[in-house]
Structure 1
């Protein structure tokens, strides 16, 4: 008998992957957490039946969320990561030697525990002595920590359930206040094909708060539509004005200095989402 995992990516679109084995299934106080060993993508993490990451394509998302901002800021000593309990973003952040402290705020302890057990390739960064893991609400954390961080990254699930607050206007204002005077934010901002209204709203909100806002994108095969957007909001530094010759040598599979620049080249359709 064949076993398949199916995600309803929209009310009219589904993606299915054939499953070799269900490795874990549990219910946390916040969401359903499941790990599947799939034929096409290897081990796959799903939250509330929505694909979060998998062994085959995870590097695209995690490298783009982290390295673009860390290479834009000239001296990112203290970094806040909200969400991303799988550990992939932490793994990429600690590749930067100039980062002295990583505060990782994840609301769901079960996600962290599952990552440590089933995704050692992603969660390896948890062992870095610069990393402090706080099981807490990221919305509350930024509100309580003003003028603290050089870079804040939001590695959030889709805007449903416990992640809804990570897309709100008040949250972004609190992020601005939690950043130091030259700090910047990088957040994943969903699919340009299926989350058009959300992208337009988030971009407009950030432009009212930060002097510089730029959207960039990459291709993540298991996310709805493949194309996936990220948004950088900065108090001072422009990701297109950095000296790419000074980028640190990083071991990556997707990100590079050339990708850094080209990711901000938006197809006209994407550009319309952020210009109206």
Structure 2
């Protein structure tokens, strides 16, 4: 096997020189595309001297997301279905053996066919079932459409606005994740805006009953979605009894971030609660969400009155139990003594 290394360096997102691009020589098999910030994607490719593809040899292909400097998750892949570099990030859709199609942004797994329902149900229904009558709902990020799909299961909803900064994510999701993106195909209640969520929040006051921050990890265009000023803007964009919820990363790998976000939301909202869910393709498999509420406490909900939704993970009986945290996670919500 022969590979040719191009010394030209390229970062797929920032377009700055930090990684290597590999190509293939005639009669060789292998194509590597490197994401040095987050992980490595290996794509199979064959080349003959006449430029035609030759029959692929038997070779296993694996994708690795490096989740910390010392830990990663690896899954077997069949092929890359889509690759592009948008104005904001690198975007890949890969077909995997274990999890079906997988959406990868800047080398980080965002969602998969198999386990997507956990994340989308848990970021949505806790807040939606805590508010007694959510009519106007905003999703910041969430271009895959999964949160919109779950929101539309609530009959009280009159308008669901999606503010996604990267239109490429929306289009890729429609094509490769149609079961996730069902709410993005013409429902009259849905307003899709390819727009900066931070700017949208700043331009709207006293408008929404529920706001959901379905962001990527706090890098690139998502950094501002984890800052106190953004949460203060959300408070102003919510109605007087509004609720917000945000994904807040892994209690194993992002403890400082969770502690900071919880403190910022506690300083911004009357009620703040942290809860978790198990998502196998996310770093550590344990994921957190944080609610900020102006009036309603999710722990005051009468679960006997909650509707039975068409869900796979969320059900009324766990509405409160998800707030029963392991001690090491609960400690992240306790104000530190100075």
Give the TM interval when normalised to the shorter protein. Answer: over 0.9
Aligned to 1:206: 265
Aligned to 1:188: 247
Aligned to 1:217: 276
How far did 1:124 drift? 0.4
Is 1:106–2:164 an aligned residue pair? yes
Is 1:158–2:217 an aligned residue pair? yes
Aligned to 2:295: 236
Is 1:249–2:308 an aligned residue pair? yes
Equivalent residues of 2:84, 2:90 under 8 A apart: yes
Is 1:136–2:200 an aligned residue pair? no
Aligned residues: 276
Is 1:27–2:85 an aligned residue pair? yes
TM-score, normalised with respect to structure 1: 0.99
Is 1:119–2:172 an aligned residue pair? no
The equivalent position to 2:155 in structure 1, one of 88, 97, 115, is 97
Equivalent residues of 2:139, 2:214 under 8 A apart: yes
Which whole-Å deviations, capped at 9, do the CAs of 1:144-185 have from their partners, x for residues lacking one? 101000000000000000000000111000000000000010
Aligned to 2:68: 10
Supply the distance in 1 between the matched residues of 2:280 and 2:178 (Cα, whole angstroms).
Answer: 22
Supply the distance in 1 between the matched residues of 2:167 and 2:114 (Cα, whole angstroms).
Answer: 24
Supply the distance in 1 between the matched residues of 2:188 and 2:64 (Cα, whole angstroms).
Answer: 38
Which whole-Å deviations, capped at 9, do the CAs of 1:41-81 have from their partners, x for residues lacking one? 01000000100000111100000000000000000000000
TM-score, normalised with respect to structure 2: 0.81
Supply the distance in 2 between the matched residues of 1:217 and 1:34 (Cα, whole angstroms).
Answer: 27
Aligned to 2:50: none
Supply the distance in 2 between the matched residues of 1:54 and 1:15 (Cα, whole angstroms).
Answer: 14
Supply the distance in 2 between the matched residues of 1:86 and 1:263 (Cα, whole angstroms).
Answer: 25
Structure 1 or 2, whichever has the larger Rg, is 2
SS in 1 for 2:259: helix
Aligned to 2:138: 80
Supply the distance in 2 between the matched residues of 1:12 and 1:274 (Cα, whole angstroms).
Answer: 26
Supply the distance in 2 between the matched residues of 1:72 and 1:219 (Cα, whole angstroms).
Answer: 21
SS in 1 for 2:184: helix
Equivalent residues of 2:142, 2:215 under 8 A apart: yes
Supply the distance in 1 between the matched residues of 2:73 and 2:301 (Cα, whole angstroms).
Answer: 38
How far did 1:245 drift? 2.0
Supply the distance in 2 between the matched residues of 1:101 and 1:245 (Cα, whole angstroms).
Answer: 27
**Structure 2 unpaired stretches of 5+:** 1-58
Supply the distance in 2 between the matched residues of 1:63 and 1:229 (Cα, whole angstroms).
Answer: 13
Higher RCO (CA-CA < 8 Å; seq separation 6+): 1
Aligned to 2:97: 39
Aligned to 1:264: 323
How far did 1:246 drift? 2.0
Give the CA RMSD over aligned residues.
0.7
Which whole-Å deviations, capped at 9, do the CAs of 1:215-237 have from their partners, x for residues lacking one? 00100001111110000100000
